[in-house]
Amino acid sequence: MGHVAYPDDLLVEGERVALYSHPHWRICVGPAAVFLLAVAVASFAGAVVRLQTWAPFGWLALAVLAAAAVARWTVVPLVRWRSTHLVVTNHRLLVREGVFSRSGIDVPIHRVDSVRTRRTLGERLAGCGTLLVDAGGEEPMRFADVPDVERVQALLHREISRDLERRREAAVEHAPVERSAS
């Protein structure tokens, strides 16, 4: 879980961040493998082409192809990973995604009915899982590759309980006071 603060100007008065995270780092393994494979293939092809009379053009073509592959299958997924945020505050669950166009969802904590997790063997070994949040909709919202998903589930339950307690206290505080006739 990252310890980078969520921007305060995006929070409402009295709201505090309980969790700020990106998807699990395992998402970056595939793009890193693509990068290494692109470098290896381009290097091997460059060595094969080097004795040809057209070698400078071949190297240029290889460089362009390798750069395009790295941009598409390494840079784009890494930027997408870095620009995806999961935030839990004392008032809501926020998810923000996107690089050029952003999309997001805000779920008030008091609207969350249930929080479940799902973890495959691979996810358990990596330390992540899928978070399923039911907020009264038809289907639960699904957040994949959540780092330490069981801790996030426990944290959401804690914030839901705190919010419920806050609401009860506010209701008691604003309840009409009965006066006895004397």
Whole-number Å distance between alpha carbons of 85 and 149: 14
Whole-number Å distance between alpha carbons of 94 and 98: 14
Whole-number Å distance between alpha carbons of 175 and 166: 14
One pLDDT digit (tens) per residue for the chain, 182 residues: 444 556 777 788 889 999 999 999 999 999 999 999 999 999 999 999 998 999 999 999 999 999 999 999 999 999 999 999 999 999 999 999 988 898 999 999 999 999 999 999 999 999 999 999 998 877 899 999 999 999 999 999 999 999 999 889 888 887 776 666 55
Spell out the residues 6+ positions from residue 120 whose beta carbon is closer than 8 angstroms to its own: 129
The residues spanned by each domain of the chain are 26-82, 84-173
* 94-115 tens-digit pLDDT: 999 988 898 999 999 999 999 9
Sheet-wide strand order for 141-147: 114-118, 128-134, 141-147
